[in-house]
Amino acid sequence: MLEEKLRLITRNAVEVVTEEELKRLLEEKEKPRAYVGYEPSGEIHLGHMMTVNKLIDLQNAGFEVVVLLADVHAYLNEKGDFEEIERIAEYNKRAFIALGLDESKAKFVLGSEYQLERNYTLDVLKMARMTTLNRARRSMDEVSRRKEDPVVSQMIYPLMQALDIAHLGVDLAVGGIDQRKIHMLARENLPKLGYKAPVCLHTPILLGLDGQKMSSSKGNYISVRDSEEDVVRKLRKAYCPARQVEDNPVMEIMKYHIFPRFEKIIVERDEKFGGDVEYSSFEELARDFESGKLHPADLKSAAAKYLNKLLENSRKRLK
């Protein structure tokens, strides 16, 4: 039972800091608490789905999940005014539930509900006294909008993110690997303030459909509101070099989105190309693709088919 939980929690993760601590947490606590924080975003895409999939895994492993809709963080990172951010946060909540998060096992929290309270503010000031400017800046490098000329608010951001873990009573902090420096800041400094260090779990950062970094400005992503036709069109044009498993965005979609949610997939092909082929694991599919037995066009077609199945509920609920 414990081994199965560990397998579920850690599958498709880049790292867990540390696995020994995670195992001890599962042994000692019947219903541990995990969280992920999101700056409210106008478009929820496959990058967000990456951590939502992990939250679903955690729920299935017995965790209570907290989703922080980080409105104050979004404001500090120049994502709009509070009224606009709060409206987007409500849409984000609906999107995460539509993607399969069990609302009965999840708590959604706006950062402004507790981040403006006296004790939290005092903790931010205490954390500021023990964190160098260079450390704060390095922690923000991966998530800041203005790397070259940051404003002071962006130095406060990582201190707050570390303290969110403590003030939300979290045992496990989840985030993309770009959050690692902030999580390590939390592990190092929270015990100095009398809080426990969290276990941290990091998920991969997915490539955009063009093989470059996923970016809203480039439009190289699939949104949860994209139509079936849009998904097919985008995947048909996606970067997908033959026989290349690594650094292939279509293969990443199969690995991180399709196989965790379907027990098997069927790639439909014309008889003259070998007919339909069934896969029960990503590893099987990867072997065939690497050997050339599976053509990129057939892979793209299968990815579009199953991704559209995953997005069917979100399209209906987010109209």
- Whether 212 is in a domain gets the answer no
* Angle of helix 153-167 versus helix 118-129 axis, rounded to 10: 120
Written as tens digits, the pLDDT of the chain (319 aa) is 899 999 999 999 999 999 999 999 999 999 999 999 999 988 889 989 999 999 999 999 999 999 999 999 999 888 888 999 999 999 999 999 999 999 999 999 999 999 999 999 999 999 999 999 888 888 776 655 556 677 787 788 899 999 999 999 999 999 999 999 999 999 999 999 999 999 999 999 999 999 998 877 788 999 999 999 999 999 999 999 999 999 999 999 999 999 999 999 999 998 888 899 999 999 999 999 999 999 999 999 999 999 999 999 888 887 6
Answer whether 85's CB lies under 8 Å from 79's CB.
Answer: yes
Label residue 227 left, alpha or beta by phi (over 0 means left) and psi (-120 to 50 means alpha).
beta
Whose CA is closest to 177, among 268, 4, 50?
50
Q: Look at residue 317 in the predicted model and tell me its pLDDT.
A: 81
Indicate the pTM of the whole model.
Answer: 0.91
pLDDT given for residue 294 in this prediction: 96
- 263 and 115 share one domain: no
Range of the domain at 297: 228-317
Position 249 in a domain? yes
Q: What is the pLDDT of residue 69?
A: 96
Same structural domain for residues 142 and 244? Answer: no
Q: In 3-state terms, what secondary structure has residue 152?
A: coil
- 73 and 25, same structural domain? yes
Q: Are residues 250 and 126 in the same domain?
A: no
The pLDDT of residue 78 is 82
**Is residue 223, in this structure, part of any structural domain at all?**
no
**CB of 298 closer than 8 Å to CB of 90:** no
Residue 208 placed within a domain: no
CATH code of the domain covering residue 254 = 1.10.240.10
CA proximity to 24, closest of 15, 14, 32, 13:
32
Backbone angles phi, psi at 17, to 5 degrees: -115, 100
**Helix/strand/coil (H, E, C) string of 180-201?**
HHHHHHHHHHHHHHCCCCCEEE
State residue 133's pLDDT score.
86
By the 8 A CB rule, do 88 and 40 touch?
yes
Q: For residue 213, what pLDDT is reported?
A: 86
Number of domains making up the chain: 2
The answer to whether 39 and 70 have CB atoms below 8 angstroms apart is: yes
Domain of 184, CATH number, reads 3.40.50.620
Q: How much is the pLDDT for 272?
A: 85
Instruction: Please give the C-alpha separations between residue 197 and each of 35, 162, 193, 194, in angstroms, as whole numbers.
Output: 14, 10, 10, 9
Same domain, yes or no: 40 and 135: yes
Tokens at 140, concatenated: 């923000």
221 within a domain of the structure (yes/no): no
Evaluate whether 96 touches 90 at the Cβ level (below 8 Å): no
pLDDT of residue 273: 84
Q: What is the pLDDT of residue 137?
A: 84
Question: Do 192 and 269 fall within a single domain?
Answer: no
Examine the domain organization and report whether 304 and 257 are in the same domain.
yes
What does the pLDDT look like over 143-200, one tens digit per residue? 555 566 777 877 888 999 999 999 999 999 999 999 999 999 999 999 999 999 999 9
Backbone angles phi, psi at 214, to 5 degrees: -65, 130
Of the residues 203, 219, 237, the one at which a domain ends: 203
Same domain, 130 and 73: yes
Q: Are both 148 and 13 inside the same structural domain?
A: yes
- Quote the radius of gyration of the chain (alpha carbons, Å): 20
Of 203, 238, 263, the position where a domain reaches its end is 203
Sequence length of the chain is: 319
Same domain, 121 and 55: yes
- Based on the fold, state whether residues 26 and 145 are members of the same structural domain: yes
